[in-house]
Amino acid sequence: MAAISTPRNLAGLDLAGLAQHLRDLPGVRGKAAIGLVTEVFGRSDWQTGPGDDGAVVLDRGHQLVVGGEAMLPSFVARDPRAAGISAVLANVNDLAAMGARPLAIVDTVVGPQETAREVLEGLKWASEAYDVPIVGGHLTETDGPPSLSAFGLGSAERPLTVARAAAGQALMLVGCFEGRMRADFPYFASFEERGERLAGDVRLMAEAAETGVAAAAKDVSMAGMIGSLAMLLEATGLGATVDLEVVPLPHGVQMADWLGCFPCLVFLVTTPPEKVPALAELFATRDLGAVRIGTLDASGLVQIAAGGDREVVFDLSKETVTHL
């Protein structure tokens, strides 16, 4: 893969300011509303949810994974084709983070005809790029604000779950670190860089699960890298310190933007230290990166570190991101 910038001297970085910035991301603040689910349905478990990127449904010995995503309405209105692509991407990434291979997607589209057409064109493009069929859905034509949701179905031989995260495991950042940042939205796209390889790329997480080189995972999404890490750890109350001096940083991208964006194909994965080489080798087979950025611990603190200093971003002994 193309070279990336791995900063070695970040002593002048404003860690406190960066930590506050990462806490205040709209993608982090928006996750708090998920707590309403627990208020209504009560506590549950990782299989039936809520808590992971999808729910595992057992059907006569088969393990199916289901999930769904709603796109930000302003994003749908501004760039409906990109929203259609993102709806597929978000679902296949969620399924991948559960160790599942995508089987199918359905969607719901609401909006003016031309907007709906562009959304559908984006859905179609991504369906072909990721080799996952869109098997149905619902469309309502209206003059009102557009909206888009999509729902994914996958199968998993050995589902990944945040419940298997444990102190002492290595924290890995894996995926594609090549691409470009959108100017109007905190999204890092790698479509041009990966091209026809995308379908195989997103199925690599299932292989990591099946071979036992991954214990738990979370895709880096709108909460950013550190917010997504907090979501991975909040169910167990574990902590981790992310070493910013080893975090792979794409050329031309600022650290704050990279830590706060939604990348096309990047996952946080935990694994026993002795399995780090095997995990890295697996991703190298597809010319993808796998870098150890920290170690899970029992502190409950999600921290960032650089230049010998560290700063707490989330204290999971006192708070959670999703309020589940």
C-beta of residue 8 within 8 angstroms of C-beta of residue 298: no
- The per-residue pLDDT string of the chain (324 residues; one tens digit each, 9 = 90 and over) reads 444 655 555 757 899 999 999 999 888 887 777 777 777 877 766 555 555 788 888 888 889 999 999 998 999 999 999 999 999 999 999 999 999 999 999 999 999 999 999 999 999 999 999 999 999 999 999 999 999 999 999 999 999 999 999 999 999 999 999 999 998 889 999 999 999 999 999 999 999 999 999 999 999 999 999 999 999 999 899 999 999 999 999 998 999 999 999 999 999 999 999 999 999 999 999 999 999 999 999 999 999 999 889 999 999 999 888 766
What gap in Å lies between CA 34 and CA 245, rounded to an integer?
33
Cis peptide before 50 (omega within 30 of 0): yes
pTM of the model: 0.92
| Nearest of 151, 74, 154, 152 to residue 115 by alpha carbon | 74
Three-state secondary-structure class, residue 67:
strand
Backbone phi and psi for residue 106, each to the nearest 5 degrees, phi listed first: -120, 160
What gap in Å lies between CA 157 and CA 166, rounded to an integer?
21
The alpha carbon torsion through 9, 302, 86, 192 (nearest 10 deg) reads 20
